[in-house]
Amino acid sequence: MEIVNFTPLPAFIGGALIGLAAALLLYATGRIAGISGIVGGLLAPVKGDLDWRIVFVVGLIIGGLIYRALGLAPGVEQIEAVVSTPWLIAAGLLVGIGTTIGTGCTSGHGICGLARRSPRSLVATLSFMLSAFVTVYLVRHLFGA
């Protein structure tokens, strides 16, 4: 396996910024920076709980656009899905079901939950990481993709 565009310093800085943002959100508002929960709150809004969610999601999008506009994403000019649209839709639905069953997503459990030493988040993180390892193994070695 060849690692393409290995960039440990930007990855380290990005991880630190994600951690800092999650901590600031938790300390400033008492809210968890889990994307599925934040977006879920946009889909089923509660009065007085919408503004910060919109700002958070818009910030994610604008942050990515600024990063790219500053030329800090070399080699990432175009991201192209290598599967068909029906597979992408099915995968999105499965992720939505998984985050509902697991009461959170990778960012909520893996970043925020583990930082708070939540046993539930540890189990969730181990579960989705194991599932990812098994899926990659099956797809690459047994199904030949």
pLDDT in tens, 90-144: 988 888 888 888 788 887 888 888 888 899 999 989 988 998 899 889 988 888 7
The answer to whether residue 3 is domain-embedded is no
H or E stretch covering 60: helix 51-69
What's the number of domains the chain is made of? 1
pLDDT tens, residue by residue, 63-74: 888 887 887 766
The answer to whether residue 90 is domain-embedded is yes
The answer to whether residue 1 is domain-embedded is no
In this structure, the dihedral spanned by the alpha carbons of residues 103, 104, 105 and 110, taken in order and rounded to 10 degrees, is -110
* Cβ-contact 15, 21 below 8 angstroms: no
The answer to whether residue 2 is domain-embedded is no
The answer to whether residue 81 is domain-embedded is yes
Domain extent for 114: 8-142
* Cβ-contact 37, 106 below 8 angstroms: no
Residues 6 or more apart from 49 whose CB is under 8 A from it?
Answer: 41
The answer to whether residue 70 is domain-embedded is yes
The answer to whether residue 93 is domain-embedded is yes
What is the number of other CB atoms lying within 10 angstroms of the CB of residue 102?
A: 19
The answer to whether residue 32 is domain-embedded is yes
Structure tokens at 126: 């181990």
Model-level pTM greater than 0.85?
no
CA-CA distance, 6 to 112, in Å (whole number)?
26
